[in-house]
């Protein structure tokens, strides 16, 4: 695959997007199966994405030909494995805007990346009376660690509210981000509402007030071109498995001077320079934060996912999702009693379609759709405070990715119509 | 339509879901119990009026999926008029049935055996259990002499 078109415009243009013309699905073996007698329609991409053959093969090849522990062996395989692992780190650094590879820390997940930050940076920098600012639309991963830290340090947890349309309400931002604020931690793209937050604008404002900014990019990096320098964030976290890569690999980007000043999170092997019984010195970045044998194979295979996405081009990924989102919203308007949550403007939202039916519970929606081979998510999406604000106990959520097409949306909409007949609505 | 789906959403279940029994709130209740299923947000409010060891009347208000609403409605229908001891036995039978343990379904259980289809959907078993554990805990508290206290129950405590 090679990128034929660079599509920078945000206007909806179905025909010019190459993802509309190529059989992307054929690259994903798992999609070629039937579930409950129907072809699989996979619309649970905000939970995790499927893996292209290139990633699956990279994982198999690693174990067949390269497997060894890294960073200490003096044999051929150990060197190869180390090179492959570090190669992915360099690739990740390029993928998010060309940062220094020393600023890329591998973790288990976005959740672990944020916990690393809360326990290491938070422990060292948050004091009694300091303020930590989050938003009302955070995933528990970017919420629970800060609640715990604030409680432990007697710091104040403040939040940016959301508007009825699902945007951040910045009208009172000057009273939320104050001279006492030490950290602003916010999601780049909401996993429930689909909202794309104005993270660059907020980071600029925060920076002027000396506030450190963490972006939760778990839903953004897989779907948008992301340049952490343009965003102006100090820290940024995301996961491989939501962007075609294997599970068990998270990334924490952090500005070098901040990471260097931070104490280690996990301790033990790999993260040390010299150990005596009474004195230990830490390894340099990034190894200081990677204690123990890391998830080598999955990190190595993640490289193939990055390459796959680069060959498509992240602009095209974004364009494809805008196209499909527009088509989905049009088709959803045929459905009675179904309400989509979040902003309606395509330019300000990602391909996350949270919806509710006035009569049918999200779990019944999900079970019914599953009987038609359609995989969606139902529940609180690890955002219970947000659900309370929305006044919902749960929503159903269809989330898009590169291999989805109009036929998937059609299958979803037709099944939802049939569902209402089935439940006698 | 696939078979397991129809087996779970049987006509009897859908009938209870669309027109739940026990809708009328009680003016006088000896047992008051709130149940929730935090993982999916289902909530139930349950009141029982007792008369000489017998369930004279029962009110259930369940906000949740078709399975939790239907199961609560069936509970209201089958428990009314039964002695507390009998009601407890029925609740035990339902719990065993949902967990897939061997149990004979007595003839006087009305529509309850329609819940058997839920067993094919492990994540939904909690939905079906919600009303029953909420009822059982309420009765347990009543028997300890705490009938005037509102019982709070979470299905998370009933793995």
pLDDT of A404-425, one tens digit each?
Answer: 999 999 999 999 999 999 998 7
3-class secondary structure per residue, A167-185: CECCCCHHHHCCCCEEEEE
Closest residue on chain A to B65 (Cα)? A361
Over chain A, what is the mean pLDDT?
A: 93
Q: How confident is the model at residue A14 (pLDDT cuts 50, 70, 90)?
A: low
Does A240 share its domain with A369? Answer: no
Does A181 share its domain with A268? Answer: yes
Annotate A250-262 with b (16+ C-beta within 10 A) or e (fewer).
bbbbbbeeebeeb
Closest residue on chain B to A366 (Cα)? B65
Closest CA to A149 of A110, A122, A113, A184: A122
Does A131 share its domain with A218? Answer: yes
- For chain A, the domain total comes to 2
At residue A238, the pLDDT reads 98
DSSP-assigned beta bridge partners for residue A377: A397
Please say whether the beta carbons of A351 and A395 come within 8 A.
no
Does A201 share its domain with A332? Answer: no
Does A303 share its domain with A407? Answer: no
- Is A26 inside any structural domain? yes
- Is A1 inside any structural domain? no
- Is B127 inside any structural domain? yes
- For chain B, the domain total comes to 1
Does B63 lie at the interface with A, CB-CB under 8 angstroms? yes
Q: Which of A310, A345, A371 is the last residue of a domain?
A: A310
Mean pLDDT computed over A365-386: 94
DSSP string, B49-66: EEETTEEEEEEEEEES-H
Is A17 one of the catalytic residues? no
For CA atoms A126, A131, A135, A139, the dihedral sign is: positive
- Is A399 inside any structural domain? yes
- Is B90 inside any structural domain? yes
Collapsing DSSP to helix, strand or coil, B107 comes out as: helix
At residue A5, the pLDDT reads 39
Does B5 lie at the interface with A, CB-CB under 8 angstroms? yes
Does A61 share its domain with A149? Answer: yes
B67 with A360: Cβ contact below 8 A: no
Mean pLDDT computed over A77-103: 97
Does B9 lie at the interface with A, CB-CB under 8 angstroms? yes
Chunked mean pLDDT (size 10), chain B, 159 residues: 78 92 94 88 93 95 94 95 93 89 74 87 90 94 86 78
Please say whether the beta carbons of A420 and A360 come within 8 A.
yes
Q: Higher-confidence residue: A222 or A4? A: A222
Nearest CB to B18: which of A364, A368, A424? A424
Does A277 share its domain with A416? Answer: no
For CA atoms B97, B103, B109, B113, the dihedral sign is: positive
Residues of chain B with C-beta less than 8 angstroms from the C-beta of A394? 40-41
Does B14 lie at the interface with A, CB-CB under 8 angstroms? yes
Please say whether the beta carbons of A342 and A190 come within 8 A.
yes
Global pTM value:
0.91
Closest residue on chain B to A367 (Cα)? B5
- Is B157 inside any structural domain? no
Write out pLDDT tens, residues A74-84.
899 999 999 99
Q: Which of A310, A335, A351 is the last residue of a domain?
A: A310
Q: Catalytic one among A382, A390, A402, A419?
A: A382
Please say whether the beta carbons of A404 and A46 come within 8 A.
no
Assign residue A202 the CATH number of its domain: 3.40.640.10
Does B62 lie at the interface with A, CB-CB under 8 angstroms? no
Please say whether the beta carbons of A342 and A356 come within 8 A.
no
At residue B1, the pLDDT reads 45
- Is A359 inside any structural domain? yes
Q: How confident is the model at residue A6 (pLDDT cuts 50, 70, 90)?
A: very low
Mean pLDDT computed over A139-148: 97
What is the residue range of A25's domain? 18-48+313-422
B43 with A367: Cβ contact below 8 A: no
**Dihedral of the alpha carbons of A388, A394, A398, A401, in degrees to the nearest 10:** 50
The residue count for chain B = 159
At residue A192, the pLDDT reads 96
Q: How confident is the model at residue A392 (pLDDT cuts 50, 70, 90)?
A: confident
- Is A10 inside any structural domain? no
What is the residue range of B12's domain? 3-152
**B119–chain A nearest CA distance, Å:** 13
Does A167 share its domain with A68? Answer: yes
Does A248 share its domain with A110? Answer: yes
Residues of chain A with C-beta less than 8 angstroms from the C-beta of B43? 393
Does A120 share its domain with A228? Answer: yes
Assign residue B138 the CATH number of its domain: 3.90.1010.10
At residue A12, the pLDDT reads 46
Assign residue A380 the CATH number of its domain: 3.90.1150.10
- Is A7 inside any structural domain? no
**A376–chain B nearest CA distance, Å:** 15
Q: Which of A291, A310, A329 is the last residue of a domain?
A: A310
B9 with A423: Cβ contact below 8 A: yes
- Is B158 inside any structural domain? no
Closest residue on chain A to B43 (Cα)? A393
Point out the least confidently predicted range of A307-311, A378-382, B51-55.
A378-382
Does A298 share its domain with A408? Answer: no
Does B21 lie at the interface with A, CB-CB under 8 angstroms? no
Encoded tokens for A23: 């059989």
Residues of chain A with C-beta less than 8 angstroms from the C-beta of B122? none
The percent of chain B in helix, strand and coil, each rounded to the nearest 5, is 50, 20, 30
The share of chain A scoring above pLDDT 90, in percent, equals: 86
CB count, 10 Å around CB of A284?
9
Does A417 share its domain with A342? Answer: yes
A36 with B9: Cβ contact below 8 A: no
> Residue written as tokens 């690393």?
A116
Please say whether the beta carbons of A120 and A263 come within 8 A.
yes
Residues of chain B with C-beta less than 8 angstroms from the C-beta of A422? 1, 9
Closest residue on chain B to A362 (Cα)? B65
At residue A161, the pLDDT reads 97
- Is A6 inside any structural domain? no
At residue B159, the pLDDT reads 55
DSSP string, A14-46: TTT-GGGTS-GGGG-GGGSSEETTEE-EE-BTT
């Amino acid at each position: 695959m090679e990128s034929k078109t660079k599509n920078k415009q945000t206007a909806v243009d179905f025909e010019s997007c190459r993802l509309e013309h190529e059989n992307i699905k054929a690259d994903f073996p798992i999609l070629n199966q039937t579930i409950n007698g129907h072809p699989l329609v996979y619309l649970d991409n905000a939970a995790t994405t499927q893996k292209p053959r290139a990633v699956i093969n990279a994982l198999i090849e690693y174990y067949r030909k390269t497997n060894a522990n890294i960073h200490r062996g003096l044999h051929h395989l150990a060197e190869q494995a180390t090179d492959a692992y570090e190669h992915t780190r360099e690739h990740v650094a390029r993928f998010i805007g060309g940062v220094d590879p020393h600023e890329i820390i591998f973790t288990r997940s976005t959740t672990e990346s944020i916990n690393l930050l809360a326990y290491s940076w938070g422990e060292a920098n948050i004091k009694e009376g300091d303020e930590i600012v989050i938003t009302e639309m955070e995933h528990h991963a970017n919420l629970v660690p800060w609640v715990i830290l604030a409680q432990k340090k007697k710091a104040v947890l403040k939040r940016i509210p959301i508007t009825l349309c699902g945007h951040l309400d910045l009208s009172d931002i000057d009273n939320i981000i104050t001279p006492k604020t030490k950290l602003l931690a916010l999601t780049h793209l909401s996993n429930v509402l689909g909202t794309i937050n104005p993270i660059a604008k907020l980071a600029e404002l925060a920076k002027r007030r000396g506030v450190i900014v963490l972006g939760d990019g778990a839903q953004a990096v897989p779907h948008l071109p992301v340049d952490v320098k343009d965003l102006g964030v100090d820290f940024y976290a995301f996961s491989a498995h939501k962007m075609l890569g294997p599970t068990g690999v998270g990334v924490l980007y952090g500005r070098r001077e901040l990471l260097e000043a931070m104490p280690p999170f996990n301790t033990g092997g790999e993260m040390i320079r010299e150990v005596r019984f009474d004195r230990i010195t830490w390894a340099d970045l990034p190894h200081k934060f990677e204690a123990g044998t890391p998830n080598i194979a999955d990190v190595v295979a993640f490289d193939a996912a990055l390459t796959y996405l680069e060959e498509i081009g992240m602009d095209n990924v974004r364009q494809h999702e805008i196209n499909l989102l527009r088509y989905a919203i049009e088709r959803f308007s045929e459905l009675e009693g179904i309400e989509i949550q979040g902003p309606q403007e395509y330019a300000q939202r990602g391909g996350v379609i949270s919806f509710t039916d006035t009569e049918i519970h999200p779990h019944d929606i999900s079970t019914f759709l599953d009987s038609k081979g359609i995989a969606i998510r139902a529940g609180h999406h690890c955002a219970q405070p947000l659900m309370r604000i929305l006044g919902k106990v749960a929503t159903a959520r269809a989330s898009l990715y590169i291999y989805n097409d109009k036929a998937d949306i059609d299958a979803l909409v037709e099944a939802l119509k049939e569902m209402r007949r089935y439940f006698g609505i | 339509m696939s078979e397991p789906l129809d087996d779970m959403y049987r006509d009897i279940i859908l009938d209870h879901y669309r027109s739940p029994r026990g809708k009328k709130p009680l003016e006088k209740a000896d047992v008051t119990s709130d149940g929730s299923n935090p993982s999916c947000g289902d909530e139930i409010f349950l009141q029982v009026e007792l008369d000489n060891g017998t369930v004279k009347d029962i009110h259930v208000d369940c906000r949740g999926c078709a399975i939790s609403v239907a199961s609560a409605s069936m509970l209201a229908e089958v428990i009314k008029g039964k002695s507390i001891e009998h009601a407890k036995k029925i609740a035990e039978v339902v719990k065993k049935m949902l967990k897939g343990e061997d149990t004979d379904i007595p003839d006087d259980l009305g529509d309850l055996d329609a819940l058997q289809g839920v067993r094919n959907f492990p994540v939904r078993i909690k939905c079906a259990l919600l009303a029953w554990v909420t009822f059982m805990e309420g009765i347990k508290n009543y028997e300890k002499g705490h009938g005037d206290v509102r019982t709070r129950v979470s299905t998370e405590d009933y793995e």
